[in-house]
């Protein structure tokens, strides 16, 4: 059997319960292997056998569940809630609540029940509640109980005892509750859609007969694109000509613009100003860095964490439980209105919304800061992690050596560095570049050697100012004294370059991999956050690892192969520890995937690590690592707050309703409160702090 994955838009979903209905409908289609319905992006991801399932079958299944598959794709532009309708609904809701409270206390509802004929009430309830009642009938025919089923039973119970006004008020608040739930979901979608809207729609492409403006999706790798000042860059590419200032905040979260000239890499969805660029496209559409960002944010909803799965499972048991409480209330108190209030006040959707609303808001906002979080599992795992393992080369360090110390033997340090840089002038070895950089940093004159000879594996020989200079390992200079200073430098893990002048040792240059300048600050933040086990795990030699580990005051494990890193991660996990792994390269990918949460740094140049990780950093800034931890912990605080508020509200509401203290009309008004609370609480994550 051939399995194909397709994605189709689904219109009409506005709650977590909707996605469950569509998912069940799609899973029941013969030939569908799996189906996952995503609320935030209003689409279904389906794996199917194309020989057995056609798109029409998918459309029919979705329609049978009460929704639709529109032609094309769902609009991606941000759609903020209009203020005027929101104001009108809010004012009308307050007015009805006041009417319900006054009517209960002053007996107005009883008067209305007597003077208005029953058939007028029935017509009003049927007209106002038709969309909800239709959904309940459809669900009942499919053998499902939904939140509106219970509220509809409450309406029927109120009408059965002649409380027509109460029944109509309940219907009104059912419709208001639907509106608030759509508003809550739309608010969370806004973070995702606002990110998607940054993608430029057109591109100015050079052709043999001039320039042509075409849809950005039609650009192909290799095309030459011209970007004018103030335009968004439509592709990833290499600058061929021109100079411009680029605002890369959409991709890296970096607030300060960067200068781009010939040879520079630019990214789609970034903004050019103060100059014109000619760019050769290297990636277009979904293949761009921005396209991958959008894809990761879209996919984020699929990564349900443990909390969300428990909430979904709990919601499945909650509705039958409420129905049982309502029946028990009717039996024990013989009060149909109290039983109706129990059914009406229950708010099951709040349980399923509590987690995804916070997750969607957090993931969308984090993406704008250069943090790509691949779903709820990553957020939950990072919230619980207290062990942090770090790769060294390219992760804690920049992957290039620098001169850390200069030891002079009989001449000055500047003289040692100056003659060494002259001897290394024509060498392309990374250590030679480090020597020249150190001399330039001290503003030393670097002479031009008369002769130059590279000795592979040993170093270089050169004649500088008529004198023979040798720079390299101690094998090149066997007579170099192995004094205490050399042993000290070797114990620190430095790579040593011995310098001789006319055959006599005159100095030693100690080199080590250059550390990222912000790593120390980030590691200190992680310690302050409660990480009690931080360690360097590297495939590099012990000496090189020691130099970095000492600077950061971290223990280390060196000479590790990729399988050794995995084994160590598993060992920690077997001891009950939650492990965060930070890495950057192919050799880190297995450990990143094995860890409870993997963070890939330097994403632009480490596609394999980014794919294997749970969180990817688009900016080479280690301060984003503790920032990711802060985001995860703040998100989980919001989630726990949502769940606790929802549980407390439902417990109090059910109790008051069962005791007859909360009448059905007020119970209907109250049932929307958890949705509003979740929206307000989760919206705090939309603030880009």
The rounded Cα 467 to chain-centroid distance in angstroms is: 60
Positive or negative: CA dihedral 609, 615, 617, 618: positive
C-alpha distances in Å from residue 497, one per residue of 448, 477, 566, 655: 20, 10, 35, 79
Coil, strand or helix: which one is 141? helix
Tell me which DSSP letter residue 329 carries.
Answer: H
CA 280 – CA 533 distance, rounded (Å): 46
- Largest Cα span, the chain: 118
Nearest to 405 by CA among 507, 515, 291, 479: 507
Q: Which one of 391, 588, 596, 621 is the catalytic residue?
A: 391
Tokens 């086990």: give the residue. 533
391 labelled catalytic = yes
Nearest to 260 by CA among 289, 287, 236: 236
Q: Is there a contact between 414 and 670 (Cβ–Cβ < 8 Å)?
A: no
Q: Is there a contact between 495 and 512 (Cβ–Cβ < 8 Å)?
A: yes
CA 249 – CA 368 distance, rounded (Å): 7
CA 60 – CA 32 distance, rounded (Å): 13
Tell me the two tokens of residue 459.
């170093």
CA 376 – CA 303 distance, rounded (Å): 5
Tell me the two tokens of residue 56.
């029409």
Q: Which residues contact 588 (CB under 8 A, 6 or more apart)?
A: 391, 395, 562, 565, 581, 600, 609, 612
Which ranges of 276-335 would DSSP assign to H, the alpha helix?
Answer: 289-299, 306-333
Q: Which residues pair with 553 in a beta bridge?
A: none
Positive or negative: CA dihedral 148, 326, 680, 189: negative
Q: Is there a contact between 302 and 375 (Cβ–Cβ < 8 Å)?
A: yes
Just list the catalytic residues. Answer: 391
């Amino acid at each position: 059997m051939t399995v194909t994955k397709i994605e189709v838009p689904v219109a009409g979903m506005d709650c977590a319960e909707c996605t469950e209905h569509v998912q069940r409908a799609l899973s029941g289609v013969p030939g569908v292997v799996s189906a996952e319905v995503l609320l935030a992006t209003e689409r279904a991801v389906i794996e199917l056998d194309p020989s057995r399932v056609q798109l029409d079958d998918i459309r029919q299944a979705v329609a049978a569940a009460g929704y639709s598959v529109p032609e094309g794709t769902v609009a991606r532009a941000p759609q903020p809630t209009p203020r005027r309708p929101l104001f009108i609904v809010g004012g009308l809701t307050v007015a009805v609540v006041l009417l319900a409270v006054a009517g209960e206390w002053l007996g107005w509802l009883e008067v209305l029940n007597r003077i208005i004929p029953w058939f007028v009430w029935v017509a009003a309830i049927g007209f106002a509640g038709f969309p909800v009642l239709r959904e309940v009938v459809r669900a009942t025919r499919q053998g499902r109980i939904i939140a509106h089923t219970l509220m509809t039973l409450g309406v029927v119970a109120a009408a059965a005892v002649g409380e027509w006004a109460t029944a109509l008020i309940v219907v009104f608040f059912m419709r208001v509750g639907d509106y608030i739930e759509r508003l809550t979901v739309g608010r969370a979608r806004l973070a995702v859609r606002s990110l998607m809207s940054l993608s430029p729609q057109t591109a100015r492409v050079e052709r043999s007969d001039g320039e042509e403006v075409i849809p950005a999706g039609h650009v192909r790798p290799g095309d030459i694109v011209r970007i004018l000042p103030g335009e968004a860059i439509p592709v990833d590419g290499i600058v061929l000509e021109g100079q411009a200032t680029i605002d890369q905040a959409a991709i890296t979260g970096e607030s300060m613009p960067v200068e781009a000239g010939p040879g520079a890499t630019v990214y789609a969805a970034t903004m050019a100003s103060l100059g014109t660029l000619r760019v050769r496209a290297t990636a277009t559409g979904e293949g761009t860095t921005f396209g991958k960002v959008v894809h990761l944010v879209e996919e984020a909803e699929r990564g349900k964490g443990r909390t969300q799965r428990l909430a979904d499972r709990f919601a499945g048991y909650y509705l039958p439980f409420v129905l049982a409480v309502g029946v028990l209330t009717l039996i024990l108190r013989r009060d149909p209105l109290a039983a109706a209030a129990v059914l009406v006040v229950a708010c099951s959707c709040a349980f399923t919304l509590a987690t995804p609303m916070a997750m969607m808001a957090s993931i969308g906002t984090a993406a704008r800061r250069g943090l790509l979080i691949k779903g709820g599992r990553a957020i939950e795992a990072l919230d619980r992690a207290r062990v942090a393992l770090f790769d060294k080369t390219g992760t804690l360090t920049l992957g290039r050596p620098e001169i850390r110390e200069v030891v002079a033997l009989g001449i000055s340090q500047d003289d040692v560095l100056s003659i060494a840089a002259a001897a290394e002038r024509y060498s392309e070895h990374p250590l030679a570049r480090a020597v020249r950089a150190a001399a330039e940093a001290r503003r030393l004159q670097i002479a031009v050697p008369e002769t130059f000879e590279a000795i592979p594996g040993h170093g270089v020989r050169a004649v500088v100012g008529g004198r023979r200079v040798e720079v390299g390992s101690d094998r090149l200079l066997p007579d170099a004294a192995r004094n205490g200073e050399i042993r000290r430098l070797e114990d620190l893990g430095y790579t040593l370059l011995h310098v001789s002048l006319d055959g006599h040792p005159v100095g030693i240059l100690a080199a080590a991999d250059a550390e990222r300048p912000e790593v120390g600050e980030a590691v200190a933040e992680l310690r302050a956050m409660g990480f009690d086990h931080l360690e360097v795990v590297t495939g590099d030699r012990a000496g090189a690892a020691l130099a970095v580990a000492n600077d950061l005051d971290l223990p280390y494990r060196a000479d590790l192969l990729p399988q050794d890193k995995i084994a160590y991660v598993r060992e920690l996990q077997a001891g009950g520890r939650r492990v965060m792994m930070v890495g950057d390269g192919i050799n880190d990918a297995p450990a990143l995937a094995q860890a409870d949460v993997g963070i890939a740094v330097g994403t632009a140049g480490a596609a394999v690590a980014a794919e294997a990780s749970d969180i990817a950093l688009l900016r080479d800034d280690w301060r984003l690592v503790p920032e990711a931890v802060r985001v995860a912990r703040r998100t989980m605080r919001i989630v726990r707050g949502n769940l606790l508020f929802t549980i407390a509200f439902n417990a109090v509401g059910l109790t008051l309703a069962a005791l007859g203290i909360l009448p059905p009309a007020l119970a209907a008004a109250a049932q929307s409160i958890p949705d509003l609370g979740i929206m307000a609480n989760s919206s705090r994550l939309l603030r880009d702090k």
